[in-house]
Amino acid sequence: MVGFPNAGKSTLLSVVSAAKPKIDNYPFTTLVPNLGIVSYRDNRSFVMADIPGIIEGAHDGKGLGLRFLRHIERNSMLLFMIPSDTENIKKEFDILLNELALYNPELLDKKEF
Ligand SMILES: Nc1nc2c(ncn2[C@@H]2O[C@H](COP(=O)(O)OP(=O)(O)O)[C@@H](O)[C@H]2O)c(=O)[nH]1
Ligand SMILES: [Mg+2]
């Protein structure tokens, strides 16, 4: 999961897996990725990673961005989380994409949701 701080990433992980990430209404409650195993039909499962929030300038190290972006490289699919009440959803998505691209353009070759 990739998103700004406070997008609801940890909350989603907490309801689809047994992981108990810290959830709070302030940015950067998550300083290391939280991992959860998500089970679905036919006894299958996958690992979901709640990556700490990415902000504009993360590729430059803002908000511990480089430490967080590094973790994204290890995932095979990216789920972009943007709150539905965000004023400009497209702009927020573009900022996230741009931070990933500036850090490592190959990140954008991954499957995105
Ligand atoms: N209204 C609303 N609040 C949410 C939702 N998901 C999470 N929150 C709240 O948003 C805040 C940030 O959530 P969190 O999961 O910690 O976000 P993260 O920083 O992306 O991990 C918390 O106060 C959550 O309770 C949602 O779907 N709707
Ligand atoms: Mg979190």
Atom 3, ligand 1: which residue's CA is nearest? 8
pLDDT tens digits, the chain, 113 residues: what are they?
999 989 999 999 999 999 998 887 776 666 778 999 999 999 999 999 998 888 888 887 777 667 778 888 889 999 999 999 999 999 999 999 999 999 899 999 999 99
Which residues line the pocket of ligand 1, CB cutoff 6 A? 3, 5-11, 23-25, 29-30, 53
Instruction: Give yes or no for a contact between 110 and 97, defined as CB atoms under 8 angstroms apart.
Output: no
Parent domain of 83? 2-112
Predicted TM-score of the model (pTM): 0.90
Residue 44, CA distances (Å) to 37, 38, 47, 68, 108 in order: 10, 8, 11, 28, 26
Here the CATH number for the domain that contains residue 67 is 3.40.50.300
Domain count, the chain: 1
